[in-house]
Amino acid sequence: MSQGLFVWSAIVIYIALGIAVAVMARRKLGSGINDFFLGNRQIGGFVCALTYAATTYSAFMMVGLAGLTYKLGVGALGFELTYLCGLVLVVFFGPRFWLVGRRFDYLTHAELLADRYQRRAVGIVAAVLCLVFLIPYAAIQVMGIGYLLAGVSKGTIPLLGAMVLAILVALVWSNIAGLRSVAWTDALQAVIMLLASLAALGFLAYRGFGGFGNFFLKMDEEIPQLLAGPGLFKFNVFFGLALPWLFFSVSNPQVTQRLFIPKSVTAFKQMIGGFLVFGFIYTLVSVLWGFGARLLVPALDQADKATPALLALPIIPKAIAIIVMVGILAAAISTIDSILLTLSSMCARDIYKNGINLRASEEMELRVGKGVIPILAIIFFVFAYWAAGKKGLAFMIAPLSAAASAGLLMGVPAIIGAFFWRRATAAGALSSMVGGAILVLALQVSGSKPLGLWPGVWGLMVCIALYVFVSLCTRPPVQKAKEFLQYLHEALPKGNFV
Amino acid sequence: MGKLFWGWIAWFLFLFALDFTIPFIGFKHVPKVTGSFLFWILWIVVAIASMFLIFFRWRENYDNNEEDHP
């Protein structure tokens, strides 16, 4: 069987399996917008943990993070583990999101903000912020698939064809049963991602180096420059990349929406615990994969090609290489369909229902949400196609991801303030999001880093200053703040939440 | 928000301070797997264990009147 045919067969099996799972999920689909976008807040802990993992971890890990490790060394491990440690924000904020989500029936975090600050414009701006900055993030998933499939199939599957395939699969899976089909297929994909990457690492270590001991010894001997301190990372690069990722769990709507879905406290605990274990293993595997590539294929022109190059080596059996490829494909598609679904829910609830047509029925709202999904998919594809033609660090997958997260970071002060600061106002939230986002966009487009600090760092400083200053100068929504915070004040101790 | 809340906040701020300083200063001249690589692995194990300690205490009876809510 030729390489191309082998790759295509694996992809067909993977897609068929995913469709079967999505169709099974559809049997549980009820009616209404909450059911379609939140699984009626009744998702079990196991599926929650895996959908959280599959949504968070994407093509970035085995392609982008491995590439970053290949190029800049051990700092990539620190940068990604800083993100994982950022999950402490879910430990603090997750129960708050979950409690108020059930109490006030929120569909998105933008709706939470609009209600808490008592101004619809806050929700609309938060939704637009997510739309603007998640497009590059979703597009890099599509790019990742393009690079990978074209590399592994040795060109049999063209870059363009691979990107079209990814978009179509995400589109179908998110449409079949909304969050239920996305969550169930995510669970399947998370298992594939983890098992495939572990198997590949095993072959890399034992067939490439004769075991993990020798692997580490080779790292010490041949690439010491990538192990000393943070490797080749400069502090400002490390900080600029890590800071937005630290807040990823409360800034990215596809992740915050998952804080609304566990059916119980136990399911919530299982979601966090399961994700932490998954994330630790998957991060370690991805980074070691990058180091392995640096030792075995040291002269690549683009670091993002490290994974395809490694999979093409004879030490990785063809079947394992194909399974890994499917694992990475799964990682990317599970992120794309989650983003598609979350952004469409924001378009339906925060922009259409709360902005354009206040009298829209739930049925109409749901129709708008479903209608937006293919439009977003086309936008993702166009951006990915444009970005895939660029070269250099600025268009590497990791910095593109961090740039997207830097923009989403501008919603964080308003989100944190909503839970803790009675005095916070809608004007403060609006000015911080708009001011911060404009600054981040301007710095990213111009490519400037004043004093060596990255756009996200500057944006966050300005954003916090605006949020505090403008809030202090304007009138807070006293009644809502009291109701919102009083409810949490009473509910949190009962559940022993911190 | 009681002492426990602020205690955990202080602990995690301390962990983040280590994350952003130790590899850049302490392991700058240690070009081995046993340097920053091992540090970050041990660091995250401590952080994950701390998070488990926090959420293991959570209970189901967060809202005695849950049936009243949507």
Binned average pLDDT, 10 residues per bin, chain A of 498 residues: 79 93 88 92 95 88 89 95 95 95 96 97 96 85 80 79 90 92 92 91 96 97 96 89 87 95 96 97 96 95 85 90 87 89 96 93 94 93 81 54 81 96 97 94 83 88 97 97 95 90
Residue B70 in tokens:
């949507």
A387-406 residue pLDDT tens: 777 665 445 555 666 677 78
Count of residues in chain B: 70
SS3 label, residue A262: strand
Q: Note whether A186 and A54 are within 8 A (CB).
A: yes
Angle value at C-alpha A351, between A140 and A439, nearest 5 degrees: 55
pLDDT value of position B67: 44
What pLDDT score does A400 carry?
A: 64
Partners of residue B24 in chain A, C-beta under 8 Å: 229-230, 235, 238
Q: Is A496 helix (H, G, I), strand (E, B) or coil?
A: coil
CA-to-CA dists, residue A91 to A106, A273, A437, B20, angstroms = 20, 10, 27, 21
Residue B7, burial from CB neighbour count under 10 angstroms (0-12, 13-18, 19+): exposed
Which helix (H) or strand (E) segment is A8 a member of? helix A3-26
- Compute the distance between CA of residue A101 and CA of residue A78 in angstroms, rounded to an integer: 33
pLDDT at A128: 95
Min Cα–Cα distance to chain A from B59, Å: 5
* Residues A480, A16: Cα–Cα separation, whole Å: 48
State the pLDDT at residue B62: 67
Q: Name the residue among B12, B35, B44 with its Cβ closest to that of A228.
A: B35
Nearest CA in chain A to B25: A229
Nearest-neighbour CA in chain A from B15: distance (Å)? 9
Q: What is the pLDDT of residue B70?
A: 39
| A324 CA: distance to closest CA in chain B (Å) | 24
Give the Cα separation of A407 and A308 in Å (integer). 30
The beta-carbon neighbor of B20 closest among A239, A280, A284 is A239
Q: Give the gap in angstroms from C-alpha B1 to the nearest C-alpha of chain A.
A: 7
Beta carbons of B62 and A99 less than 8 Å apart? yes
Contacts of B43 in chain A (CB under 8 A): 81, 85
CA distance A454 to A92: 27
CB pairs under 8 A between A and B: 141
Interface test with A, best of B38, B50, B56, B58 (most A CBs within 10 A): B58
Question: What residues in chain B have per-residue pLDDT under 50?
Answer: 66-70
Backbone angles phi, psi at A137, to 5 degrees: -65, -45
pLDDT in tens, A125-164: 999 999 988 887 888 788 878 877 777 777 788 888 888 9
pLDDT of residue A86: 95
Pick from A102, A227, A288, A291 the residue to mutate for testing the B interface (most B CBs within 10 Å). A227
Domains and CATH numbers, chain A: 3-391 (1.20.1730.10)
Map residue A431 onto helix, strand or coil. helix
Nearest residue in chain A measured CA to CA from B50: A88
β partners of residue A262: A43
Residues of A in contact with B52 (CB under 8 A): 273, 276
B19 contacts A78? CB cut-off 8 A: yes
> What confidence score (pLDDT) does residue A391 get?
61
Residues 50-69 of B with CB under 8 A from A: 50-52, 54-64, 66, 69
CB distance A112 to A345 below 8 Å: no
Out of B15, B40, B62, the one facing A265 most closely (by C-beta) is B62
Sign of torsion over alpha carbons A249, A255, A261, A263: negative
pTM, full prediction = 0.92
Q: ipTM of the predicted structure?
A: 0.91
Q: Indicate yes or no: CB of A74 within 8 angstroms of CB of B41.
A: no
**Packing angle, helices A3-26 and A318-346, rounded to 10:** 40
Look at residue A244 and give its three-state secondary structure: helix
Which of A85, A271, A294 is the mutation pick for testing B, counting most B CBs within 10 A?
Answer: A85
Q: Which chain B residues are within 8 Å of A227, Cβ to Cβ?
A: 30-33, 35-37
Q: Confirm if A169 and A318 have CB atoms less than 8 A apart.
A: no
Distance CA(A271)–CA(A489), nearest Å, equals 24
